[in-house]
Amino acid sequence: MSDMSFNPATTDWYYPTEDIVKNAHVPDYESVYKESMSDIEAFWAKRASTLEWFKPWDKVLDSSNAPFYKWFVGGKINIAHNALDRHVKTWRKNKVALIWEGEPGDKKSYSYWRLWQETNKFANVLKSMGVKKGDRVTIYMGRIPELMIAMLAVAKIGAIHSVVYGGFSEQALADRIEDAQSRVLITCDGAWLRGNIVELKKMADQAVHRSPVVESVIVVKRTGQEVHMEQGRDYWYHDLMGLPIASNICETEQTDAEDPLFILYTSGTTGKPKGILHTHGGYQVYTSTTLEWVFDIKDEDRWWCAADPGWITGHSYIVYSPLILGATSFMYEGAPTYPYPNRWWKMVEEYGITILYTAPTAIRGLMRFGDAWPNRHNLSSLRLLGSVGEPINPEAWRWYYNVIGKGKSPIMDTWWQTETGGFMITPLPSVGLKPGSATRPFPGIEVDVVDDEGNSCGPDEDGKLVIKQPWPSMLRTIYGDPDRFVQQYWKAYEKQGWYLAGDSARKDKDGYIWVIGRIDDVIKVSGYRLGTAEIESGLVSHKAVAEAAVIGVPDDVRGNVIYAYCILRAGFQGSDELVDQLKDHIRHEVGPIAVPTKIEFTNLLPKTRSGKIMRRVLKSRALGLPEGDISTLEE
Ligand code: PRX
Contacts of 429 (CB under 8 A, 6+ apart): 16, 20, 21, 24, 26, 294, 296, 384, 410, 412
| Whether residue 233 has pLDDT greater than 80 | yes
Q: Can you tell me whether residue 372 is helix, strand or coil? A: helix
527 compared with 358, residue with greater pLDDT? 358
**Residues 214, 218, 219: CA angle, nearest 5 degrees:** 125
Between strands 184-188 and 136-140, the pairing is parallel
Mean pLDDT over all residues of the chain? Answer: 95
**pLDDT value at position 4?**
43
259 DSSP 8-state letter: S
- Average pLDDT, integer, range 85-95: 98
Contacts of 391 (CB under 8 A, 6+ apart): 2, 4, 5, 6, 360, 436, 514, 515, 516, 517
| Whether residue 1 has pLDDT greater than 70 | no
Indicate which residue's Cα is closest to atom 22 of ligand 1.
390
| Whether residue 270 has pLDDT greater than 80 | no
- Average pLDDT, integer, range 399-428: 97
Ligand 1 binding pocket includes 438 (Cβ within 6 Å): yes
Per-residue pLDDT band at 520 (split at 50, 70, 90):
confident
| Whether residue 9 has pLDDT greater than 50 | no
- Average pLDDT, integer, range 572-588: 96
Q: Can you tell me whether residue 7 is helix, strand or coil? A: coil
Q: Which of 263, 392, 415 to mutate to test the pocket of ligand 1 (most atoms within 8 A of CB)?
A: 415
- Average pLDDT, integer, range 182-193: 98
**pLDDT value at position 5?**
45
Ligand 1 binding pocket includes 294 (Cβ within 6 Å): no
How far apart CA 397 and CA 101 sit, in angstroms, is 27
Ligand 1 binding pocket includes 266 (Cβ within 6 Å): yes
> Residue 320 in contact with residue 287, Cβ under 8 Å?
yes
Contacts of 204 (CB under 8 A, 6+ apart): 140, 173, 185, 187, 217
Among 144, 119, 123, CA closest to 132: 123
Between strands 328-332 and 302-305, the pairing is parallel
| Whether residue 246 has pLDDT greater than 80 | yes
- Average pLDDT, integer, range 7-32: 85
- Average pLDDT, integer, range 261-273: 86
How far apart CA 622 and CA 635 sit, in angstroms, is 21
Among 440, 555, 394, CA closest to 6: 394
Computed on alpha carbons and rounded to an integer, the radius of gyration of the chain in Å comes to: 24
**pLDDT value at position 12?**
84
Between strands 59-62 and 274-279, the pairing is unpaired
Ligand 1 binding pocket includes 515 (Cβ within 6 Å): yes
**pLDDT value at position 279?**
98
Ligand 1 binding pocket includes 523 (Cβ within 6 Å): no
- Average pLDDT, integer, range 436-465: 97
Q: Which of 5, 269, 515, 534 to mutate to test the pocket of ligand 1 (most atoms within 8 A of CB)?
A: 515
The amino acid at 187: T
Query: Rounded to 10 degrees, what is the CA torsion of 206, 207, 213, 217?
Result: -80
Contacts of 117 (CB under 8 A, 6+ apart): 248
> Residue 554 in contact with residue 3, Cβ under 8 Å?
yes
Q: Is the dihedral of CA 97, 102, 107, 108 positive or negative?
A: negative
Ligand 1 binding pocket includes 313 (Cβ within 6 Å): yes
Q: Look up the pTM and report it.
A: 0.95
| Whether residue 438 has pLDDT greater than 90 | yes
| Whether residue 202 has pLDDT greater than 60 | yes
**pLDDT value at position 146?**
98
Sheet-wide strand order for 513-518: 447-450, 463-467, 499-507, 513-518
- Average pLDDT, integer, range 206-219: 96
**pLDDT value at position 3?**
39
Ligand 1 binding pocket includes 389 (Cβ within 6 Å): yes
- Kindly state the percentage of the chain with pLDDT values over 70: 98
**pLDDT value at position 635?**
55
How far apart CA 223 and CA 249 sit, in angstroms, is 29
**pLDDT value at position 507?**
97
**pLDDT value at position 33?**
98
Ligand 1 binding pocket includes 308 (Cβ within 6 Å): no
Among 305, 333, 341, CA closest to 320: 305
| Whether residue 10 has pLDDT greater than 70 | no
> Residue 112 in contact with residue 80, Cβ under 8 Å?
no
Indicate which residue's Cα is closest to atom 18 of ligand 1.
389
